[in-house]
Structure 1
Amino acid sequence: MRPFGCVRRFALTAFFAITPAWAAAFETNATAAYIYDQTTDTVLLAKNAQTPLPPASMSKLMTIYMTFEAVADGRLDINEELAVSSHAASFGGSSMFLDTTDRVRVEDLLRGVIVVSGNDASVVLAEALSPDGTEAGFARLMTDRARQMGMMNSTFVNSSGWPAAGHRMSMEDLGILTDRLISDFPTFYPLFAEMDFPFDGRVPSNSGNRNPVLSMGLGADGLKTGHTEEAGFGLVGSAKQDGRRVIFVITGLQSRQERAEESAKIINWAFRQFAQKDIADAGTRIASADVWMGDFPTVGLSVAEDFSLLVPVLNQGDIEAEVVYDGPIEAPITAGQQLGELVINLDELPEKRIPLVAETDIARGGFATRLRTAALVLWQKYGPGGADEVAGEA
């Protein structure tokens, strides 16, 4: 048994060469919002972000994600032609204006959903991937898949976001989904930046991308607008500047113009008020930890990967950081084994926890080590000030 167990905490303010620690909070007009710096895994703002709300066409992103998955694993071919059912052709609103005589390539259907927000195209894809051939069956599959992806505040009733009781997503869930779309399908992701999709020359007036930030010169390259009377105007957006990517989700705005202006403000705020700072390269030693019963008394704790922080650029202040581990750590220890965490706190931003791993192998000590350890335990137990020291009589 180890002689003692504890959590060791070390102030590491001096370790960092950066000191900004404050940024002005962003006041959004959206009823719910979620802003996430994907590059540094930092949530910049969450307003009613976990509340399930009507997502309108923004929920088409789940249909798109599941179609990308089906193409990637071979269940659908990107050039496969799909039939259009009477159910799919019956939808109004945003549309590719498909009819039951059409057979449409999967790639064109994806563009129809992404660029022109086609409700009919969404249903065609849903029925093709549904376990029972119905849109309702696909919606149940969407909900199950969302749960698997950690989207616990999403329930789908249809594939398009058409207003329906119980069809809900949270803004955080839409952020999680967007993160996965960008990370999991980099080959397909450029589809979201396409400005025009004149399918078959059928309806030229309905061929433009509705996403207003794509043409603002702010580095925006996706993703999806949404609007119903119940939901208001919303947008799932992403922008990349100087290697940093920001994802944002907003809903409940009053007009297209307000949605566009709010989106631009968010992008400017996220990139101008925060800066990415490289903190440590992989293998950098942050601290040392005591070892119990090892052939060395300590082991170096290092970061396993390069890591950087997103820090506010205004109002200088200290960064609070500490190493946390349960020690002493019992040998044997394997290089790369996670032993603790570097915990970093910045004003206005969530706590960051960076895994710390063993720098080297530490073998279990031999007879001499065990003898020294036994002597240490006896000294702590019975030596001067020991817990079991017998008190003298008065």
Structure 2
Amino acid sequence: MTRLARISNSMKRPLLALLLGLSLSASAHAFETTARSVVLLDFNTNTVLFEKNPDDEVPPASLSKLMTLLIVFDELKRGAIRMDETFPVSEHAWRTGGAASGGSTMFLPLNSQVSVADLMKGIAIQSGNDATIVVAEGIAGSVPAFAEMMNRKAQELGLTHSHFVNPHGLPDPGQRVSARDLVTLATHIIRTYPEHYPLFSEEEFTFNGITQRSRNPLLSLGADGLKTGHTAEAGYGLVASAKDDTGRRIVFAMTGMKSVNERATQARALMTLGLRGFENVVILKKDETAGEVPVTGGVATSVAVRAADEIRFIKPRGSGSPYKTEIVPVGTIEAPVAEGRRVAQMKITRDGQVVREEPLYAAGNVERAGILQRVQEQVMGYFR
């Protein structure tokens, strides 16, 4: 069963009433997919635009490598490893993930030394199982110890339907993820490691004289990452992200498709829905003045107000009536008023229903008036 425009549990703003009240566009409402589980997220507002079985626990296959790379990014950030540092290719890595294994491989030579930079590309672009074992052993000493790091990070990110046993995603009863967790993981990578995220958009990588291309079918259609995965048990999966011409980004995960072609077709359809089926509505820009509220006992009778950040909605394209706003002071505002003080609330309504409330803050200072001016104001207020 699918639900459109459902809000992610991690959201702090009360958008649910808004999106449940929308008249969904026909194209979005009619969207169907053969994928086993799906989550489509608007990146900037953290709004779930479409979902299907979002919390089903499924085998992740190579989508596990997103968590493997996140651990590498974390270790680089804290200075525990360097990009030019090299790790040895053990016999375990060579036999389990190398050419003889029959799976995705970077074709690492036994007992060679490989830089972290090359290993990252081998994982992100070539999906090398051998490369994941090399980084696991190089960072944590062993695959089980590295899996413990992966699970600690999963717990830290709130991935409640994921558990990792290995860094590559080869079949194991204990290895599982959900589409919602995969989107949370991808979103964290994009937000936290913008310096490494372009790695996922590279279409090919040559190592040891062998050139391999990324399996992401959307890179040629405007997507800029992230990762595909496949095993017989998991089917064909994908985690991807893309932006439109306005810079609005979507992130989505799909699992359980039956072929490469089905994955490509379903992913294109979902990306089209996410980028073209919805639009942003900006209520108030960052640092834009929303209006004024009255001030008593001050050298000025009012103060301009603004929000802490941009106020925007994501809605199905072409749907529904416009939004209306009302500025409501937080009681009587008495001087002195310091810039940044919370002085009002913006109520945003649609079709007579309050769909969101946002705090507003003083955009400047209002000094306390002298005694004569305050008396005059009281007298004038009495006659008013």
TM-score bracket, shorter-length normalisation: 0.7 to 0.9
TM-score (norm 2): 0.77
Q: What residue is the counterpart of 1:82 in the other structure?
A: 87
Aligned to 1:123: 133
The answer on 1:280 being equivalent to 2:261 is no
**Cα offset, 1:35, TM superposition:** 0.9
Distance 1:295 1:96, change over 3 A: same
Structure 2 residue aligned with 1:264, among 262, 268, 283? 268
C-alpha spacing 1:77/1:309, structure 2 compared with 1 (3 Å): same
For the 8 Å contact 2:281–2:313, the answer to whether it is kept is: yes
Q: Which amino acid aligns with 2:144?
A: A
Please say if residues 71 and 149 of structure 2, whose CA atoms lie closer than 8 Å, have aligned partners that are also in contact: no
Distance in 2, Cα, partners of 1:272 & 1:241 = 8
Q: 1:193 — aligned with what? A: 201
SS, match of residue 226 in structure 1: strand
Q: Out of 223, 234, 237, which is 1:234 matched to?
A: 237
The two structures, once aligned, show a CA RMSD in angstroms of 3.5
The separation in 2 between residues aligned to 1:174 and 1:331, in whole angstroms, is 50
Q: Percent identity?
A: 39
The correspondence for 1:178, drawn from 175, 181, 186, is: 186
TM-score under structure 1 normalisation?
0.75
Runs of 4+ displaced beyond 6 Å: 289-298, 322-326, 329-332, 362-371
Deviates more, 1:159-168 or 1:288-297: 288-297
- Determine the C-alpha separation between the residues in 2 that align with 1:368 and 1:154: 68
Counterpart CA distance in 2 for 1:292 and 1:137 is 64
Specify which of 250, 272, 275 is matched with residue 246 of structure 1: 250
In the TM superposition, residue 149 of structure 1 has moved relative to its aligned partner by 2.7
> What is the deviation of 1:353?
6.0
Q: For the structure 1 residues 333 and 183, does the alpha-carbon distance in structure 2 shift closer, same or farther, using more than 3 Å as the test?
A: same
Contact kept? 1:86, 1:99, Cα under 8 Å = no
Query: How far apart are the structure 2 equivalents of 1:139 and 1:343?
Result: 47
Alpha-carbon distance in structure 2 between the residues aligned to 1:352 and 1:86: 58
Distance 2:155 2:327 in 1: 33
SS of equivalent to 1:121: helix
Residue of structure 1 in register with 2:224 after alignment: 221
Amino acid at match of 2:244: Q
| Count of aligned pairs | 347
Corresponding position: 1:98 with 2:108: yes
Question: For residue 3 of structure 2, what is the aligned residue in structure 1?
Answer: none
CA distances 1:1-22 after superposition (whole Å, capped 9, x unpaired)? xxxxxxxxxxxx9xxxxxx963
- The structure-2 alpha-carbon separation of the partners of 1:368 and 1:171, relative to structure 1 and needing over 3 Å to count, comes to farther
Q: 1:62-117 CA deviation, whole Å, 9 max, x = no partner?
A: 11112122223322111111101222222332111324322111111111101111
Match in the other structure for 2:68: 63
Note the residue ranges of structure 2 that are not aligned, 5 or more in a row.
Answer: 1-17, 376-384
User: Once the two structures are superposed, what CA deviation does each residue of 1:313-332 show, in whole Å capped at 9, x if it has no partner?
Assistant: 23442336666886567987
Deviations 1:159-205, CA, capped at 9 Å, x for gaps: 11222223222222211221222222222222212222221124x5x
1:123 and 1:146 map into 2 onto residues whose CA distance is 19
Q: 1:112 to 1:335 in 2, by over 3 A?
A: same
Equivalent position SS for 1:45: strand
- Structure with higher Rg: it is 1
| Partner SS state of residue 271, structure 1 | helix
Give the 3 Å change call, closer, same or farther, for CA 42–291 of structure 1 in structure 2: farther
1:31-75 per-residue CA deviation (whole Å, 9 max, x = no partner) reads 211111223433211222233332211121111112122223322
Q: Which amino acid aligns with 1:219?
A: G
Which residues of structure 1 form unaligned runs of 5+?
A: 1-12, 14-19, 372-394
Match of 1:141 among 127, 132, 149: 149
Distance in 2 (CA, whole Å) between partners of 1:266 and 1:345 is 30
